[in-house]
Structures are given as C-alpha cells and as structure tokens.
Structure 1
Amino acid sequence: MEQFRPPSPLSLVGNLSEAWRRWEQRFQLYMIAAGASEKEEEVKIAILLHTIGEEALEVYNTLNITPAGDALTVEEVLKAFKTYCSPQKNVVFERHQFWSYPMSPGIVVDRYITELRQKSKDCEFGQNVDDMIRDKLVFSINDSRLKERLLRDKDLTLNKAIEICRSAEAAKTQIQAMQLNPVVQDASVDTLKKTPHNLRPGQGRIKASNKQTVCTKCGIKHEPRKCPAYGETCHKCKKKNHFSKLCRSNIDKDKPYTKTKMVNNLEADMDTLYIGVVSSDKNETNCWKETVTIRKVPIVFKLDTGADANVLPMQVYHKIPGPVQLPSTKAVLIAFGGARISAEGIVSLECVTSKGSAVLDFLVSRQADKAILGGQACEELQLVKRVDVLTPKSHTLDKLPATKEELVEKYAEVFTGLGEFPGLHHIYMDPEATPVIHACRSVPLSIMDSLKKTLKAYRTEK
C-alpha cells in the first residue's frame, strides 16, 4: 500500500456533489490498486476516514449511520457521505448550468465533450443526451467558419461534429507549424564554367538577380528584356533602341547648351499632379521668372500656371539653411517617353516675394534642375492674377455687331481664305448651353515635322 499515493483530502468548498463524485472515484481506484478491497470492513472504513481529511472526518462524526447488518460497512459510509454532499437536485438549474457552460479558447473538442457529458448527467436528457451535446457544441464554437460548416450539414450527428472539429484542429496546428518552419529548398548547381583569363579587371560572369538597376537606354528601372526604349527612334541621333535624353552622340556639340526635361505628370498617393516642363536654357527670358526668398535665400523660380505641383531641385534644396532631413514621399514624376523620375521627398517652406508670402509644399528631386512654381502657388503669392474680362486697348468700346451682315463685314478675314467651308451651313444654337473652352489638340512629336510641312503647303496653295 505504501507504493500507491492515496487521494487528496475531500474539499467541502464549492460544488460538493462534483467534488464527492471525483473523490469517491479516486478512492475506489486506490483501494483496488493497493489491494485493500479484500480486507475487513473495519480496516476499509479506517482507510476511508484516514484519507478523507479532517473536515470530512468532523462531518462523519455528525452523521447518524445505521448499519443494515451486524457491523457497519464501507459502502454504507460512502452512501452516507454521498447523501450529505448531494443535496436535492434541481433539473432546471442543472440544465441552465449545462447550456451556459462556455467553450474556453484553446480547449480541444474532446476535452470539451467530456466536460459536457459530466454536466449532462443531472440534466435528465434521457435518450436525447447526444443531440443536446451536439447542439451545445455547435452553439459554443468560436470559429465562425467552422460553425458555418457544421450548420450546412442537415444530417449532423454528435460523432460527425466531433470528427469535423478534430479535422479543423489538426489543420490549424499543421498550418501554424508550416508557418513557423518554412521549407527551404536547396539551390542546385547545374553547370560549372571556367572564367576566361582574358577578361579585364572588374569584368566577370553576370549573376542572375532580381535586383533592378537604372537602364542606360531609357533611364528607369525595369525587368530584363522589358526596356520601353527598345524599338524606339532617338530624336537626336535618329538611331534606335534608346531615348534622346540618354543619347551619347556628339551631334549637337557645336550648338549652344540646352538641357530640357519634359515632365508630363506626377503621381502622388491618391492624386495626379501635372507639370509642364522642368528645364534649364541659357536663352530663356525673364518674363515668366520670379525671385522668391526662402529662409533669407533668394531662389529664381519659373512660373508655370499649368503645373499642379511645385518642384525644387536637390542642389537648390541643400542651399536652404535649416533641417537637412527630408520626409519621404511616394510621388513620382513621369518624364517624356515614359521614364519615371522619383521624388526624394516633400518639404513645406515659407516663401516671400515682393507681393506676398505663403507656406508652400515642394517636391524635391535630384533629376530636376529648374525650380518651378505651380499655378496655385503663383496665385497664393499674388504673382499671377486670373482675369475673366477682356478689354480693348482703346478706352472707348467698339460697337458690337447687331446683325449677321455686320458681323461678317467686321470680321471678314474669318469668313474668307484659309478655313472657309464651301456652301452655306446653318448652325443651331442652344441658349441653355454652357460655354466651354477646349484645349488645343496635342500633336505627337513623331509627326510634328510632317504636320508643319503639310500646313505650310496648304497656306502656299491659298
């Protein structure tokens, strides 16, 4: 008997009925394992009272146990304790305990089913106990996808529900294990080649890599064999497979220095901003330039009312005193030909002119070489004013034509010569229509020369 550990003392706190059920089961197992089941009744009762604990022993002293035979048996003592620990059952309360018992997070389905079976013993479900446990399992599952899968089965039984839950638990465990231990495939060597001895220093075998570098033909980063300049003709040297901005020919060596970057638009996080030209040309006039003071540093800006953003070259930004750190941005400049020019960052600076001051946002780029003020910035600094009224040069207003004949006579050059349509045409006017000014149609650069020749020929014929 010494080699088997006796059960712990009976706890008389909490649910006495459940505590007694568990303690009695452990005591019966101990008696069988220790070989005490064949001993005399007095010895078995002594073992019971010795292992049951001091509190339960005091309860035993108050119990009035009447032996059925000549001597008291251990079964009679166990029955008396069961009666003491198991008060009158309330089926409604037991069922309430059953239906309100939650499924703890992380508990396996087999453990939860065992606990539900223990709860259902005093509920008197009868032959429907499996259906009640099945319903309680479906109601208590926290995983909405698993619950939906169980509800789709019209012939769902308790065993089938347990199998589905087991499969879901196993799959979840396997996925977690696969995520923690990713499979690493060993790279195999298919071919070994010797490096030629006649290579110059710095040359070697080019290794395949997904790292993208700036292409020397188009000026942007792209995947191998996907250069947008392939097949295109350079407008500078007339050769193929590169853009004119990266042309290495010396065909314009004797011409005055002119460096121009055509920037079509700039894409920010959600908006698309348009910029006309970022250029530097020694022959430019100062009619659309303005000196702006930023942190006591005068900077010459080009006024571009068609631009939606302000551009500041990186070399100019470094001349401005103050914090050097530049907040990053996702804005991208789309240059002529499709080249993408990334902006290094965005910065807000206070700008002062002779007409006003304002705090403006500038996109700083290393590839831009001309400072630009957009249309909104020009209005905020009062450098450009929008005029919606046209006035003649003379102080006296001309009399407007009142009839069609007066209109044709006054503007005869419009109705004769180039642009005149043969015959008579009637134009229907809608008095409720809103006047709209459309921009001129853009002409592709590839047909610009031929278009000029054609228009010149038409004018010569007329």
Structure 2
Amino acid sequence: MESGTIPYYEPFSVQADHVSNATRWEEWLDGFINLMVACGITDDVRKRALLVHYAGKEVQLEIEAMTAEHKGGKNDFQKLVDALTTRYTAHVTKTYWKHLFRRSKQLPDETIDRYHSRLRMLIRKCEYIDEDEQILTQIIENCTSKRVQRRALKEDMSLESLLQYARWLEILDSMEAENIDTSANIPRSELDKQKRGTSKNKSKCYYCGGPYPHGDTCPAKGKKCRFCGKLNHFAKACRSKGE
C-alpha cells in the first residue's frame, strides 16, 4: 500500500440490538483483517491505528471511554480487538449462537459459497466438535436447490463434494440462462444420464417443450418459469420437476 493512500472500508455501525452488533462485528472484523493482509500491513502499531480509523466515530467514542488496561497502548492491536469483540459479543450466549446457526437458511440470490461462509462464521461461536458435519447437515436442510438436497439424500457426501456439486449446478444454470451450450461442461456421467433419459424425445426442445429445432428464436427465451422462477424456460419443460 502506497504511503498516504488507503482503500475505503465501510465503518462499523453500532446499533441497539446486541445480537445484530455481534454478528455484524464478526463480519466487519474479518473484512478488516483481510484488508490488512491484502495491503501487506503487519506492524501492530499501524494495524491498531487503521482499526481505530476504519471503525468509525461511534466505535472511536467507545474506545475513548475504555480504560487503558482494557484497550492497551498504541502497539497493542490484539488487545484492542479482544476488548471490542468482548464489547459487542459478550451479551450473546453460546446457545443463542447455535440458535442463529440453526435458523440460517440460504437466501434466494445467495451463492452456495457465500452461504457456506456465513455458516462458517456463525459456527465458530457454537463450539461444535464436528463443524463440517454440522454445516453439511445445515446446507442439506436449508439450501435453495432441490437438486442438491436430493443428491445429498441419495448418497453420502462430504461437505466438500456437496459444495463442488452445488457450484457446478450454479454454473450450469447460469450458462443455460444465457442459452450457452452446456454439454461440453457437463461431466460425462451426468451427460450419459441425460441422454438415456431423453433418447425418446430427441425432437423436443429442452427449454419450451415444443418441437425442435425452431424456425426462429425459442419462445421460452427471456421468459420466467412459473415452477422454479428461473429464466429462459417454461414450466412444462422445467427440469426441477423431475429431480
């Protein structure tokens, strides 16, 4: 990072809701630490000064109100981090962190990796022994993809294999939405299954369900499916129905 130039990072907003402060502080602090790593800043004096600067006016006022014993001196970066973390998370019990973890569902537009990261952040406060197994179960029960759920219930999958499968489905859906030929990107085993399942309907369009090839543009292009809500196919041709 060049001298005199620092990238923008949104200040932390202190709210009356202790639970909201706890979850948002964890996210904010993770982002700040990543910023320090990206900028190559390792000196504790600079890291502490930047923490105070980036945290914003509300946090700065709370730091000023702390005793020297709690916030430490100019070179005590970790001590200040610990003091602020205690300040914003002390009111949230381990039981409540578990409650938040169990209530966390994948959002409609949230990628599987973002959902996984959110669960990973929450579970750190739950003190589970088998974190990967807990996250795996949570994703299976609360992800938005029925295909992921059905695959995971049919066969034993590790967390990493489930994430890889979910990422592949997201890429495939994105390519289909843009009417890109996806056959070259489908694993051979999956392609063989599709060929076996559609061998009797080679003249039917996968997107609109009508005769194929079309004389012009597929009538389903740009249309929203009434079954799954995704673009570029009709409900009668929706693959989610048979999964």
Give TM class, smaller chain.
0.5 to 0.7
The separation in 1 between residues aligned to 2:110 and 2:8, in whole angstroms, is: 29
Change (3 A) 1:183 1:161: same
The separation in 1 between residues aligned to 2:75 and 2:174, in whole angstroms, is: 55
The separation in 2 between residues aligned to 1:116 and 1:46, in whole angstroms, is: 30
Shift of 1:147: 2.2
Change (3 A) 1:152 1:86: same
Change (3 A) 1:99 1:71: closer
Q: What TM-score, normalized by structure 2, do the two folds share?
A: 0.60
Aligned letter for 1:122?
Answer: K
Structure 1 counterpart of 2:12, from 10, 25, 31: 10
2:166 is the counterpart of 1:165: yes
* Cα RMSD, aligned residues only: 3.5
Shift of 1:151: 0.8
Aligned letter for 1:147?
Answer: Q
Shift of 1:69: 8.9
Shift of 1:123: 1.2
| C-alpha contact 1:94 1:123 (8 A) present in aligned 2 | yes
Alignment of 1:31-110 (within 5 A): 37-38=42-43, 41=45, 45-66=48-69, 73-110=76-113
Shift of 1:170: 3.1
| C-alpha contact 1:10 1:56 (8 A) present in aligned 2 | yes
Deviates more, 1:163-172 or 1:101-110: 163-172
Which structure has the greater CA radius of gyration?
Answer: 1
Deviations 1:136-178 (A, max 9, x none): 111113444442232111x222122222222333333333333
Shift of 1:130: 0.9
| C-alpha contact 2:25 2:85 (8 A) present in aligned 1 | yes
Partner residue in 1 for 2:132 = 130
State the percentage of identical aligned residues: 20
The separation in 2 between residues aligned to 1:176 and 1:91, in whole angstroms, is: 42
The separation in 2 between residues aligned to 1:173 and 1:30, in whole angstroms, is: 30
Aligned letter for 2:7?
Answer: R
Deviations 1:175-218 (A, max 9, x none): 333359x9779xxxxxxxxxxxxxxxxxxxxxxxxxxxxxxxxx
Partner residue in 2 for 1:139 = 141
The separation in 2 between residues aligned to 1:69 and 1:103, in whole angstroms, is: 40
Alignment of 1:278-357 (within 5 A): none
Change (3 A) 1:164 1:84: same
Instruction: Kindly indicate which of the two structures has a greater share of residues assigned to helix.
Output: 2
Change (3 A) 1:7 1:115: same
Q: Secondary structure at the match of 2:81?
A: helix
Alignment of 1:51-450 (within 5 A): 51-66=54-69, 73-126=76-129, 128-153=130-155, 155-178=156-179, 179=207
Instruction: Kindly indicate which of the two structures has a greater share of residues assigned to strand.
Output: 1
Aligned letter for 1:10?
Answer: F
Change (3 A) 1:175 1:65: same
| C-alpha contact 1:98 1:116 (8 A) present in aligned 2 | yes
Q: Secondary structure at the match of 2:169?
A: helix
Q: Secondary structure at the match of 1:8?
A: coil
Deviations 1:6-55 (A, max 9, x none): 5332211252233333333444455566676548x4x7655443333221
Aligned letter for 1:175?
Answer: E
The separation in 2 between residues aligned to 1:19 and 1:69, in whole angstroms, is: 24
The separation in 2 between residues aligned to 1:123 and 1:111, in whole angstroms, is: 19
Partner residue in 1 for 2:24 = 19
| C-alpha contact 1:65 1:77 (8 A) present in aligned 2 | no
Q: Secondary structure at the match of 1:66?
A: helix
Change (3 A) 1:90 1:68: closer
Give ranges in structure 2 of 5+ residues lacking alignment.
180-206, 216-243
The separation in 2 between residues aligned to 1:67 and 1:134, in whole angstroms, is: 38
Change (3 A) 1:29 1:143: closer
Give ranges in structure 1 of 5+ residues lacking alignment.
186-462
Aligned letter for 2:139?
Answer: L
Higher relative contact order structure (alpha carbons within 8 Å, sequence separation ≥ 6): 2
| C-alpha contact 2:70 2:80 (8 A) present in aligned 1 | no
Aligned letter for 1:21?
Answer: E
The separation in 1 between residues aligned to 2:157 and 2:40, in whole angstroms, is: 46
Aligned letter for 2:79?
Answer: E
Q: Secondary structure at the match of 2:68?
A: coil
